[in-house]
Each structure stands twice: as structure tokens, then as C-alpha cells.
Structure 1
Amino acid sequence: MPSALPEGDPAPRDGSLPPAALASAAERPLAFYLHVPYCATRCGYCDFNTYTASELRGSGGALASRENYASVLAEEIRLARKVLGDDPRRVATVFVGGGTPTLLPPADLAAMLDAVRQEFGLAEDAEVTTEANPDSVDRAGLAALREAGFTRVSFGMQSASPHVLRLLERTHTPGRPERAVADARAAGFAHVNLDLIYGTPGESEADWQSSLEAALAAGPDHVSAYSLIVEEGTRLGQRVRRGEVPMTDDDVHADRYLQTERVLGAAGFAWYEVSNWATTPAGRCRHNELYWTGADWWGAGPGAHSHVGGVRWWNVKHPGAYAQALAEGRSPAAGRELLDAEDRRVERVMLELRLVDGCPLALLRPAGLAAARRALTDGLLAEEAFADGRAALTLRGRLLADALVRDLVD
């Protein structure tokens, strides 16, 4: 959950949505994102809306405490029920992110999920994910989460190299993520993800190879691999600006991505989104797929973003301000925007192009369609998909996806 909030129009105090946003809602899936903004320490590269205990001390008081957070967030879920009225949809997916959700006791995470279950109900095959740091869980806690209805867990592994973990300021040691996966399997989780980051300054090809091999040896059915982005305002960004550590070259990022595809592909993982691989379709993150295909989701928690029927809004960032709004009976939304048809077309192209099936060519305007034909000639788009009316990325196209999408949305 990025820390910066966009500009937008004022949001209604009661959180109400335009009638058009709720029209035909039953035809769209509904998901919930539950943001837990607490971390034990702040990683040097992190730009997410998270807070350590020292950052909250004296700022928001009891309203910002971890101890009562589950009950505060449940208030927003009840607000969602009021806003969505008699919406008949059961929730298809729930994703608890952060921050470090597993800093909260399993009973608190279970209570947050229960609030969704009580207000909306969960689909029979609902996917329920929590993020976790490898050193913030144990087998008993994971078993409690599984018993509460969580079906999937995502561990932030990032790297198996000690010097890379130190530079990223991660608190776990090499080997701990593998043990966490084993504990999750023992607790009954069929679906386990490991998050990896490549392109850290000083990371070698051998470092990245060892990270990929360690991740595979742990036995997850899903791997996410992201290129490190050095954000302004982070400690890592400050170190780069001072010249203490070098920026990683774009060509190195491309090499690491190709290495990732080779290693994961050989191990039976197939990409389904540019940064995500799974061993089977059932192992894919269905929650993220709903984001990428424009479904409805309610984001509860400080700084969380939501989207329902072409209306997007975002909550105030600070846990104290968030809790205060709910205590006063008003929406914690800081602002919102209404997406018009062109906004939604552009977003569909930007997001769906990153998926293995690509985006419909019918979404492209003449200039974008001409750019797609050039990309096909250049080997960036798959010929078979193009013949079927879709723009789908080749491996080379994945390396240039960000630049290509800018041409296609014209």
C-alpha cells in the first residue's frame, strides 16, 4: 500500500456511492483488502503506508494502537455494508496486507475476517490470503489462521543472500523463509507464495540464482519476483542519492528477469502476470487477478484504496486519523475520483496487457492498434493471440511492457 495519496475530489462523510456505481454490481466479483499498517522495523527500501511503534508513540494515542486495531477495522467493514446496501454478493477473495499483518495475534486477524463473513458472507470457494514476514509466524499461529478460514499465505522472502538482506534491512535470516513455508504446509495451507526482489545494489547473478533455488527448494506453489524500485524518501533512496550504494543498471534488471523465467520455468512454474508465476491455475492469486481485471474491491484500513463500479477512493493515511473518523461515525475516505469511460479503457489496457492472456485489441484506438501491429512485427506481441484479437506479451515484450503500454493506450 503506497504511502503517497493521490489528489481527488472530496469524499462524502457517509461514504455513499453514486447509484450508477452500484448498478449491475451483482454481475461483478467483490473482494476485500484489509490493510494492517504496523511493522516491527521499517525496511530501508519500503515506501508503503506503515508505522513502527516508535513512529506512532505520541501520535494518535490509543486510537492508533495495535491492540484495538481489529475492532476499529471491523467498523469500516460495517460501514461498507451500509454503503453497499442490499448488495447480494458474497465476497470472492480477501487479502490481508501491510505492513506485517502477522504482528497482530491470529485471533485479531480471524476477527477481521469474521467481520467480512458476518456482514457479507464468503463465497464457498473464497480465497483468503495474509501476508507475513518469515520471522513473524510460527506453526501454531499458522494453524490458528488456517482454522479461522485463511487459505493462502504470502511470505516476504526477498533474497537468500545475507548481504542483500542486510542492504534491504530485512530482519529474517537466510533459511527462515524455507522453514516458514514448511510450517505453513504442516498447518494445512495448500497455497503458499514467496515474494522475491531482484536488482538490489550489489546483488550478483550468483546471488539471485541462489535466491531462486532456495525459494524453489522451499516448495511454494507461487512465486512473485519484483524489480527493486528505489523510492524517494526511503533510507535506501537517500543512500543512493549520497552515492553510498550504486543504482542497478536497467540491463541488469532485464538479465535478472530472464534468469527468473528460465529457472522458474524449468521448475514447472508458468507466468500469468509479468511479475507472478504459479505451478497450476489453482495456485494463482485470484485476489490480484480481480484487481487486474477491474472487479470491485473495498480496501479497509489507513491509506487503503477501493474501487466499486468506476468509483475509486482512498482512506486517510494515519492510523489515528483513520480510527478517529470511524469513532465519529464518518467515512475515513480522504478523497475519491469517478472514472469515465476513457479512464476505464486506459486502465484495462494497462492492467490486462500484463496478463498472460493479454488485452482485447478492441480496446485500442487507431494509434494504439497501429502501435500494436509494430510491436507484433518487433516480436513484442504473440502472433497467435493477435490473430485471435488479443495483444499478449512475448517474453521480450514482458521486458518492455511499461514502454509498450504507453504506446498502446494512445
Structure 2
Amino acid sequence: MPSTLPDGDAAPPSGDLPESALRGLGERPFGFYVHVPFCVTRCGYCDFNTYTAAELGPGASHRDYADTAIEEVRLARRVLGDVELPVETVFFGGGTPTLLPAEDLGRILGAIDAEFGLKAGAEVTTEANPESVDPAYLGRLLDGGFNRVSFGMQSAREHVLKVLDRQHTPGRAAQAVQEAKKAGFEHVNLDLIYSTPGESDDDWRASLEAAIAAEPDHVSAYSLIVEDGTRLAARIRRGELPMPDDDVAADRYQIADTLLAQAGFRWYEVSNWATDDDARCRHNLLYWTGGDWWAAGPGAHSHVGGTRWWNVKHPAAYAQRLAAGTSPAHAREVLADDDREAERLMLELRLSSGYPVADVAPGARTAVAAALGGGLLEPEPFKAGRLVLTLRGRLLADALVRDLLVS
């Protein structure tokens, strides 16, 4: 959850949604995101809405957080009415959700189940810092209904982790994967970051090899983005560290795709690889394919039927609103049809399943032809009616989307 909230229209204290958002509710996949905004320390590159103990101030605490989040789950049920909405995916993100007792995470999940019902076989994920869990904790998570865990590994090199201000030791993430699998988790993901200042190609290969050797069934790899206001941005501005290079990032991406493919992983979204279809993150796929989701927690962003809203940022303000019986929503926007279609193109084109050729705007056909001729789109899927990115196309996906939208 980004730390800076966008502008928008005022959200009603009741949390009520416009009729256009409720139209078709239940016909689209529905998921829940739960934001847990607590961290032991703030990583130097992180711009998410998170708080250390020293930053929380009065009116917010780890101890009361589960009860507060449960109040928003109940609010969600009131706002969405009595339409049947079985929850297909639940994702606990942060911050570090596993700083809370596993029983608290389980209570929040139980409230979602009680209010909406979890669909049979629902995917239930939590993010975790590798240092924040042990076998006993993972066992309690499993008992609480979780079946997928995502560990923030970032790198296997100590000097790279130091630049990122990551607190875990090299090797701990791989060990945590083994502990999760032994506990009985069906699916395990490792998150990696590439192009950190001071990282070499060999460092990046070593990180990939360590991740692969840990035998997760899912790997996410993201190019480092230097966000304004972070410690990393300040260090780069002062000349202590170099700015990440786009060409280097492209090389690192290709290294990742090659090594992961050799190990049996296949890309299904530009930054995500899985060993098979069952290992794909169904929660993220819900985001990328136009589903509905309610996001609970301070600063969390929800989307239902083309209406998007976001909660107040600080945990204390969030708790105060719910304690007063009002919605924690700060503001919202109702997306126009053109905006929704533009977002659909942007997201679906990043998927290995691609975007329908038939849905391309007539004015963008020239840009499509140029992309096909330039090697950005796969020829065979195109013949079958889908725009699917080649490896080169994945590297230039953002530019291609812009070309298709402005044509």
C-alpha cells in the first residue's frame, strides 16, 4: 500500500457505494486484502504505508489491530448487502503481517469467513519477513486456515541486503521456505529485487540460484524503484549510491527469465513465474483480470464494480473511525468506462494469456502492427486472436501500452 494517498471525491461516512458499483456484484470474482501496517524497522527503499513502534503514537497498537480490522470486515458486509459473495482469495500484506500473533491473523480470516464465506479451495496468503516466523508459528498459521505464504527474500548477498536495509540474514529465506513446506503449506513464494546499487550480475545470479534451490513453486522478481522520500532516494541524491540503470535492469530481467525457465518456472505475468498453473497467485490474478476486492486496513485501496476507494493512512485515525461506527474510507473515484478499459489493457497485456485482438481500439491497429513487426508480440497467439508479449515485449511493456492508448 503506497504511503501517499491520491486525490479523489469525498467518501460517505457510511461507506455506501454508488449503485453502479453494486450492479453485477457477485457475478465477478471477489477477494479480500488485509493490510497490516507494522514493521520492526523501515527498509530504506520502502514507500509503503507502514509504521515502526516508534512511529505509531497513541491510539494504535499491535494488540488491538485484529479487532479493528474485524470491524471493517463487518462494515464491508453491511455495505455490500446480503448478496452472496463467496471469497475466492484472501491476501494479508504489509508491512509485516507476521508481527501479529498467528492467532490474530486467523481471527481476521475467521471473520471474513463468518461474514462472507470462504469459497471451497480459497487461496489464503500471508506475506512474511523470513525472520518473523519459525516452524511453530507457521504451524499455527496453517491451523488458522492459511495455505500460501510469501517470503521477502530480495537477495542472497549480504552487501545487497545491507543497501536495502533488510534485516534478515542471507540463507534465512531459503530456510523459511523449507519450514513452510514441512509445515504443510501448499504454495510458497519468494520475492526478489534486482538492480540494487552495488549488485553485480553474479550477485543476481547467486540470488536466483539460491531461490531456485529453496524449491518454492512461485517466484516474483521486481526491478528496484527509487521512491521519493525514502532513505535510498536520499542516499542517491547525495551521491552515496548510483541510480539504478535501465539497461542493467533489462539484462537482469533476462537473466531471471532464463534461469527460472531452466528450473521449470514459466512466466504468467511480467514479474511473476510459477512452476504450474496451480502455483500462480490467484489473488493477484483477481486484481489483473477485473475482479472485485475489499481492502481492509489503513491506507488500503479497494475496488468494486468500477468504484475505487482508499482508507485513511494512519492506524490511529483508522481505528478511531471504526470505533465511532463510521467508514475509514478517505476518498474514492468512480472510473469512467474508458478508464476501466485502459486499465484492463494495461493489466491483461502483462499476462501470458494476453489481451484480445478484437478488443483493440481501431485507432491502435497501426501500433499493434508495429509491435508485431518489431518483435514485441508473439506471432502464433496473434493469429489466434491474442496479444501476447515476447521477452522483448515484456521489457518494453509500459511503452507498448502507452502506444496503444494514445493511438
In the superposition, the TM-score normalised over structure 1's length comes to 0.98
1:78 and 1:133 map into 2 onto residues whose CA distance is 28
Alignment partner, residue 3 of structure 2: 3
Structure 2 counterpart SS, 1:117: helix
Q: What are structure 2's unaligned runs of at least 5 residues?
A: none
**Counterpart mapping for 1:6-405 below 5 A:** 6-56=6-56, 59=57, 61=58, 63-405=59-401
Structure 1 counterpart SS, 2:44: coil
Structure 1 counterpart SS, 2:10: coil
The letter for the 1-side match of 2:68 is V
Contact 1:314 1:333 in 2 (8 A): yes
1:178 and 1:349 map into 2 onto residues whose CA distance is 36
2:359 and 2:55 map into 1 onto residues whose CA distance is 45
Kindly provide the CA deviation profile for residues 192-248 of structure 1, in whole angstroms up to 9, marking residues without a partner as x: 000000000010000000000000111100000000001110000000011110012
The letter for the 1-side match of 2:201 is E
Structure 2 counterpart SS, 1:201: coil
2:16 and 2:357 map into 1 onto residues whose CA distance is 35
Contact 1:350 1:409 in 2 (8 A): no
Structure 1 counterpart SS, 2:243: coil
Contact 1:270 1:279 in 2 (8 A): yes
Deviation at residue 366 of structure 1 after TM alignment: 2.4
Contact 1:3 1:317 in 2 (8 A): yes
Aligned length: 406
The letter for the 2-side match of 1:27 is E
Contact 1:364 1:409 in 2 (8 A): no
Deviation at residue 311 of structure 1 after TM alignment: 0.5
2:41 and 2:55 map into 1 onto residues whose CA distance is 10
Kindly provide the CA deviation profile for residues 115-149 of structure 1, in whole angstroms up to 9, marking residues without a partner as x: 10110010001000000000000000001101111
The letter for the 1-side match of 2:202 is A
1:185 and 1:12 map into 2 onto residues whose CA distance is 44
2:327 and 2:85 map into 1 onto residues whose CA distance is 22
Deviation at residue 385 of structure 1 after TM alignment: 1.6
The letter for the 1-side match of 2:11 is A
State the identity %.
66
Structure 1 counterpart SS, 2:20: helix
2:69 and 2:365 map into 1 onto residues whose CA distance is 45
1:89 and 1:333 map into 2 onto residues whose CA distance is 21
1:71 and 1:31 map into 2 onto residues whose CA distance is 20
The letter for the 1-side match of 2:26 is A
Kindly provide the CA deviation profile for residues 313-367 of structure 1, in whole angstroms up to 9, marking residues without a partner as x: 0000000000011011110000000011101100000100100011112332223
Structure 2 counterpart SS, 1:26: coil
Kindly provide the CA deviation profile for residues 71-92 of structure 1, in whole angstroms up to 9, marking residues without a partner as x: 0000000000000101202100
Q: What are structure 1's unaligned runs of at least 5 residues?
A: none
1:360 and 1:335 map into 2 onto residues whose CA distance is 33
